[in-house]
């Protein structure tokens, strides 16, 4: 004998299955029923029909659950945010906004070394999107930005580097040293960064 809860049955409005579902419900309601905990329960004979069944199996605690209960150990609930060492910020642990799922167009462009997209991005820079980049992504982006110093987008490239510099001096400084660029380009870059720092301090 199998038992099922009436409210666990779900009717799907489907033209092809409508008659068979009605027939199924009609047959179920022909069986004996009783009210258990405010729910109507029908007693069914054994059948091959796949319906959510009322489980009669008793829950048995595992050895660990018994030990935890005796010692008063409670399961630790993880918070929604986790501190990320790469971004130096509290990031979402799960979901689309998590750092693991940061597959934005910018990240894809950095991965593919798409200079045209990077050029377009830095003209209308989104600092919030930049803040989600990992240290490796920052490294790769700086390499691309260094290449843009020879183009008409050099000023936007410098401002973007400065924005990244403000977040993690170590990463950017190391990258600048590693880059085998000509001396004139580095001097030009340093002068622009110094100028931007001067403007920032003047405003403050």
**C-alpha to C-alpha distance for 112 and 79, rounded to whole angstroms:** 34
Give the SS3 label for residue 96.
Answer: coil
Q: Are residues 29 and 103 in the same domain?
A: no
User: Average pLDDT, stretch 91-118?
Assistant: 73
**pLDDT, tens digit, for every residue of 113-131?**
888 888 888 888 877 778 7
| Cut 0.75: pTM above it | no
Q: Is residue 196 part of a domain?
A: yes
Centre a 10 Å sphere on the Cβ of residue 169 and count the other Cβ atoms it contains: 10
User: Average pLDDT, stretch 131-152?
Assistant: 82
**pLDDT, tens digit, for every residue of 48-88?**
555 555 555 667 888 888 888 888 887 777 777 777 665 56
Q: Is residue 58 part of a domain?
A: no
Total of domains in the chain: 2
Q: Are residues 125 and 191 in the same domain?
A: yes
Beginning with the edge strand found earlier in the chain, give each strand of the sheet holding 2-5 in spatial order: 2-5, 39-44, 33-36
Give the pLDDT score at 57.
61
Give the pLDDT score at 94.
64
User: Average pLDDT, stretch 133-161?
Assistant: 83
Q: For residue 1, what pLDDT band results from cuts at 50, 70 and 90?
A: very low
**C-alpha to C-alpha distance for 2 and 34, rounded to whole angstroms:** 13
Give the pLDDT score at 112.
86
Q: Which domain holds residue 21?
A: 2-44
Mark out the alpha helices in the chain (DSSP H runs): 18-28, 63-71, 105-111, 115-123, 127-130, 135-147, 154-167, 169-178, 183-203
Q: For residue 96, what pLDDT band results from cuts at 50, 70 and 90?
A: low
User: Average pLDDT, stretch 107-118?
Assistant: 86
User: Average pLDDT, stretch 99-110?
Assistant: 71
Give the pLDDT score at 72.
85
Q: Are residues 37 and 127 in the same domain?
A: no
**C-alpha to C-alpha distance for 167 and 69, rounded to whole angstroms:** 46
**C-alpha to C-alpha distance for 137 and 175, rounded to whole angstroms:** 12
Q: Which two tokens stand for residue 146?
A: 């260094």
Q: Are residues 197 and 107 in the same domain?
A: yes
Q: Distance of CA 72 to CAs 29, 66, 69, 78, 86, Å? A: 47, 10, 5, 18, 36
What kind and span of H or E run contains 82? strand 81-84
Q: Are residues 192 and 102 in the same domain?
A: yes
**pLDDT, tens digit, for every residue of 168-202?**
555 555 555 555 455 556 666 667 777 777 776 76
CA-CA-CA-CA torsion for 169, 120, 107, 160, nearest 10 degrees? Answer: 10
**C-alpha to C-alpha distance for 204 and 198, rounded to whole angstroms:** 10
Higher pLDDT pick, 199 / 154:
154
**C-alpha to C-alpha distance for 202 and 127, rounded to whole angstroms:** 21
Q: Is residue 49 part of a domain?
A: no
Q: For residue 8, what pLDDT band results from cuts at 50, 70 and 90?
A: very low
**pLDDT, tens digit, for every residue of 19-45?**
566 777 777 777 777 887 777 777 776
Q: Are residues 29 and 104 in the same domain?
A: no
Q: Are residues 33 and 104 in the same domain?
A: no
């Amino acid at each position: 004998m199998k038992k099922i809860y009436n409210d666990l049955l779900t009717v799907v409005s489907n033209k092809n299955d409508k008659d068979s579902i009605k027939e199924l419900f009609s047959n179920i309601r022909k069986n004996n029923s009783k009210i258990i905990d405010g729910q109507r329960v029908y007693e069914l004979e054994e059948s091959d029909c796949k319906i959510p069944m009322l489980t009669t199996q008793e829950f048995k605690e595992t050895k660990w659950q018994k030990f935890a209960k005796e010692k008063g150990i409670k399961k630790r609930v993880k918070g929604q945010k986790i501190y990320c060492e790469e971004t130096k910020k509290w990031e979402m642990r799960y979901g689309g906004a998590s750092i693991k799922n940061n597959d934005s167009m910018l990240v894809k462009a950095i991965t593919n070394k798409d200079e045209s997209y990077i050029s377009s991005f830095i003209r209308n820079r989104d600092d919030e999107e930049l803040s989600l980049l990992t240290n490796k992504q920052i490294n790769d982006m700086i390499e691309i930005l260094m290449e843009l110093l020879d183009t008409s987008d050099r000023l936007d490239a410098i401002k973007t580097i400065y924005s990244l510099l403000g977040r993690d001096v170590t990463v950017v400084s190391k990258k600048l040293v590693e880059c085998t660029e000509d001396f004139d380009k580095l001097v030009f870059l340093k002068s622009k960064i110094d100028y931007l720092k001067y403007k920032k301090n003047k405003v403050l």
